[in-house]
């Protein structure tokens, strides 16, 4: 019988199965699929567990954010910590056995495996709930695949023929969760095919998710995720329209920019600006951005990632965003990740305004609102005067300052064809290697160019 590994909340599941038969407890690391997916309640517990898997430190619990920023540092960040594997990422000298890269790869597939099994067994859920539950699973699968294709895809989507560029193995059918299983020994699908799967999942999610959903995936977050995907494809009309849908639905359902920029960060509950955030408490959840960006004063390591004057001096002295940086031991540190046990911001509404503004100015349109109005919402909150006739460069500059160190650094640098630490945007070393252990398991996996 196929078996599925469930990574979180399985004690609760096994408690449902046998809450008072202590001698009959099942191993929570290997529960028969027939048990885990036997009822709608159990399947929804698996779904909750899959959110926790997506929020592990290797994914949106922080690593995919700070790794993007370290890789894109370009003199604006320094790694001063003692850990060698983040130093490899910062210096673009990543070894094929880098543990952070390997963990992100494997954890993303755990999310994908569980999503596949949830979708395949959706019939155990009440009919009225099936579309929404499946949409949540598809959202999680899309988010995992998007990180995989950005980090491990041979080249960015726009770097060549996406149908011939090597992506990652594409798995959408239910099966065993052990990554070593022969079921998964597949070659790499094309970058095009992986993107098409991501888009299909997010389109379904956008249609079937509710506008609000506590701190789980919702319609605006699916729209903004689509906008991110389309930006990486340089499909600006599609990105604009997805960002516009995000803003429209969010604005009519209680989401809004917080009044003070600093209040958007270091929260243990979602703000009105948070479209999607990973929940962190002193009992559960991970925030490795705090671990590496913050300092010993606040309970982290001792400021492993420093912000240099090159970045700090990009802010006007009256910019409220400049005031969020703090200085310790002669170095600047990012205040967005200062405090312990605070949520990891994955998608903020501010990003949707900036995406819509960028795409509108590129296309000479004013869908939803004018580029000036959108970008000035962001500038006004930062205490800056409004722009009139905002140029593309001004909007991109605003995006950089507003979203700094929230995980978009590498992806924006690549799509804008920017050099990074002397390397061109399409340099082989700005892509992660396929992890050594994955290639040892699966001989069908070809390595990325530039790595052995």
Q: Tell me: the pLDDT tens digits for 414-449? A: 999 999 999 999 999 999 999 999 999 999 999 999
Number of structural domains found in the chain: 1
Contacts of 160 (CB under 8 A, 6+ apart): none
370-412 pLDDT, tens digit per residue, is 999 999 999 999 999 999 999 999 999 999 999 999 999 999 9
Residue 182 lies in a domain: yes
pLDDT band per the 50, 70, 90 thresholds, residue 179? low
The set of residues, in sequence order, having a beta carbon less than 8 Å from that of 9 and lying 6+ positions away, is: 45, 46, 48, 49, 52
What is the C-alpha to C-alpha distance for residues 409 and 418, in angstroms, rounded to an integer? 11
DSSP state, 189? P
> What is the per-residue pLDDT for 241?
99
DSSP 429: G
Residue 335 has pLDDT above 60, yes or no: yes
Does the pLDDT value for residue 364 go beyond 60? Answer: yes
Residue 296 belongs to some domain of the structure: no
CB 278 within 8 A of CB 54: yes
- From the number of C-beta atoms within 10 Å of its C-beta (0-12, 13-18, 19+), residue 247 rates as buried
Would the pLDDT of 8 be above 50? Answer: no
In sequence order, the β-bridge partners of residue 276 are 347
Least confident of 44-48, 131-135, 154-158, 184-188: 184-188
Span 114-128, average pLDDT: 97
**pLDDT higher than threshold 80 for residue 50:** yes
pLDDT value at 57 more than 60: yes
- Please report whether residue 256 resides in a domain: yes
Strands (E) across 308-349 are located at 326-328, 331-333, 344-348
Residue 291 lies in a domain: no
Which pLDDT value is given to residue 162?
98
Q: Is the pLDDT of residue 15 over 90?
A: no
Report whether 225 contacts 347 (CB < 8 A): yes
CATH number at residue 235: 1.25.40.390
Q: Band of the pLDDT at 180, cuts 50, 70, 90?
A: low
DSSP state of 447: P
In this predicted structure, the answer to whether residue 125 has a pLDDT above a threshold of 90 is yes
Helical pair 236-251 and 219-232, crossing angle rounded to 10 deg: 160
What is the domain extent for residue 89?
3-281+343-348
pLDDT for residue 281 is more than 80: yes
Q: Is residue 80 in a domain?
A: yes
Given a cut of 50, whether residue 257 has pLDDT beyond it is yes
pLDDT, the chain, mean:
93
In a domain, 197, yes or no: yes
Q: Does residue 249 belong to any structural domain of this protein?
A: yes
pTM: 0.93
* Residue 47: per-residue pLDDT: 98
What span, in angstroms and rounded, lies between the C-alpha atoms of 56 and 285? 7
Query: What angle is formed at CA 208 by the lines to CA 206 and CA 214, rounded to 5 degrees?
Result: 85
- Residue 26 scores a pLDDT above 90: no
Helix (H) or strand (E) holding 31: strand 31-32
Centre a 10 Å sphere on the Cβ of residue 424 and count the other Cβ atoms it contains.
11
Q: How far is CA 288 from CA 135, 170, 342, in A?
A: 28, 28, 11
Residue 32's pLDDT band, with cuts at 50, 70 and 90, is low
Q: Answer whether residue 31 shows pLDDT above 90.
A: no
Q: How far is CA 352 from the centre of its chain?
A: 15
Judged by average pLDDT, the poorest of 99-108, 168-177, 268-277, 315-324 is 168-177
Q: Of 5, 110, 96, which is closest to residue 58 (Cα–Cα)?
A: 110
* Res 182 pLDDT > 80: no
Q: Note whether 351 and 400 are within 8 A (CB).
A: no
262 within domain boundaries: yes
């Amino acid at each position: 019988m196929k078996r599925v590994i469930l990574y979180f909340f399985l004690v609760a599941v096994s408690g449902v199965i046998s809450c008072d038969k202590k001698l009959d407890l099942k191993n929570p690391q290997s529960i028969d699929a027939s048990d885990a997916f036997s009822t709608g309640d159990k399947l929804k517990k698996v779904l909750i567990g899959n959110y926790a898997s997506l929020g592990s430190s290797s994914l949106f619990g922080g690593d995919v954010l700070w790794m993007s920023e370290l890789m894109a540092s370009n003199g604006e960040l320094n790694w001063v910590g003692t850990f060698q594997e983040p130093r490899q990422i910062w210096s673009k000298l990543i070894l094929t056995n880098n543990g952070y890269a390997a963990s992100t790869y494997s954890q993303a597939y755990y999310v994908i495996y569980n999503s596949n099994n949830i979708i395949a067994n959706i019939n155990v859920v009440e009919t009225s709930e099936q579309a929404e539950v499946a949409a949540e699973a598809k959202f999680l699968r899309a988010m995992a695949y998007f990180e995989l294709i950005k980090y491990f895809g041979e080249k960015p989507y726009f770097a060549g023929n996406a149908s011939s560029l090597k992506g990652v193995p594409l798995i959408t059918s239910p099966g065993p969760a052990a990554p070593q299983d022969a079921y998964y020994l597949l070659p790499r699908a094309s970058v095009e095919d992986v993107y098409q799967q991501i888009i299909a999942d997010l389109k379904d999610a956008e249609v079937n998710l509710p506008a609000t959903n506590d701190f789980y995936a919702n319609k605006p977050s699916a729209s903004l995720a689509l906008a991110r995907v389309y930006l990486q494809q340089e499909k600006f009309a599609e990105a604009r329209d997805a960002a516009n849908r995000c803003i429209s639905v969010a604005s009519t359902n209680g989401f809004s920019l917080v009044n003070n920029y600093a209040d958007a960060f270091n929260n243990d509950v979602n703000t009105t600006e948070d479209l999607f955030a990973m929940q962190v408490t002193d009992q559960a959840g991970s925030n490795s951005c705090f671990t590496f960006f913050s300092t010993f004063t606040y309970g982290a390591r001792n400021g492993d990632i420093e912000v240099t004057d090159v970045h700090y001096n990009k802010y006007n002295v009256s910019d409220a965003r400049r005031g969020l940086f703090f200085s310790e031991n002669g170095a600047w540190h990012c205040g967005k990740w200062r405090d312990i046990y605070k949520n990891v911001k994955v998608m903020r509404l501010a990003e949707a305004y900036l995406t819509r503004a960028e795409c509108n100015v590129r296309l000479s349109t004013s869908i939803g609102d004018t580029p000036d109005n959108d970008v000035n919402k962001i500038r006004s909150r930062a205490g800056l005067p409004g722009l009139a006739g905002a140029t593309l460069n001004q909007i991109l500059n605003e995006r950089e300052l507003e979203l700094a160190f929230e995980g978009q650094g590498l992806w924006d640098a690549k799509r804008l064809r920017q050099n990074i630490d002397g390397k061109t945007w399409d340099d082989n070393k700005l892509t992660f290697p396929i992890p050594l252990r994955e290639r040892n398991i699966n001989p069908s996996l070809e390595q990325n160019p530039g790595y052995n």
